[in-house]
Amino acid sequence: MKKIRIHEEYCIGCHLCEITCVVKHSPSGKLIKTFRDTNRPAPRVRVEEEGYVSFALQCRHCDDAPCVENCLTGAMYRDEETGVVLCDEDRCVGCWMCIMSCPFGVAERNAEHTHIGSKCDGCVKKGEVPPCVENCPNEALTYE
């Protein structure tokens, strides 16, 4: 299974990964319309910065996925076709076990529906490169 890899030594902290994530998950899918919308989605990737070091932090779709193991309702699951860990928003009850059990601290409350867990869904369709990777100007994110 291909995964998004982070190369912090190349990250320049431009936040384009966050911007393209928000646009990809917005209803319009267009940059200007997305950022004019007051109900735009939150990015599912977040750039962490400390001094001169910056890097994109997002779901690692762990092989042992504690969020899946600890989800009380089974809302967190692994897609068998892509291997990506996803959240079935209809089954999520907002217990936050995914947030508490994530070893990387990337699972969060969904900004639009605060009772639902949210995390990177990989934007994966067979053969497609995720937008955060495709638009990273310094190849700090790769899809391997």
Residues 51 and 1 in one domain: yes
pLDDT truncated to tens, each residue of the chain (144 aa)?
788 999 999 999 999 999 999 999 899 999 999 999 888 888 899 999 998 899 999 999 999 999 999 999 999 999 988 889 999 989 999 899 999 999 999 988 876 666 777 899 988 765 689 999 999 999 999 998
- Asked if 44 and 30 sit in the same domain, the reply is yes
Count other Cβ atoms within 10 Å, centred on residue 105: 10
69, 42: one domain: no
Same-domain status, 6 and 54 = yes
Residue 21, SS3 per DSSP: helix
Q: Same domain, yes or no, for 37 and 54?
A: yes
Count up the domains in the chain and report the number: 2
Range of the domain at 91: 62-119
Question: Which pLDDT score, from 0 to 100, does residue 83 have?
Answer: 87
Asked whether residue 93 falls in the same domain as residue 144, the answer is: no
Give the C-alpha separation, 86 to 77, whole Å: 5
**Same-domain pairing of 95 and 128:** no
- How confident is the model at residue 30, as a pLDDT? 94
Cα(15)–Cα(24) distance, integer angstroms: 14
Give yes or no: residues 26 and 70 share one domain: no
Question: Same domain for 111 and 139?
Answer: no
DSSP track, 28-94? S--HHHHHH-TTPPPPSSEEEEETTEEEEE-----SS-HHHHH-SSS-EEE-TTT--EEE-TTT---
Q: pLDDT at position 2, please?
A: 83
Output the pTM of the full model. Answer: 0.86
- Supply the CATH number for residue 67's domain: 3.30.70.20
Residue 35 sits in the same domain as residue 74:
no
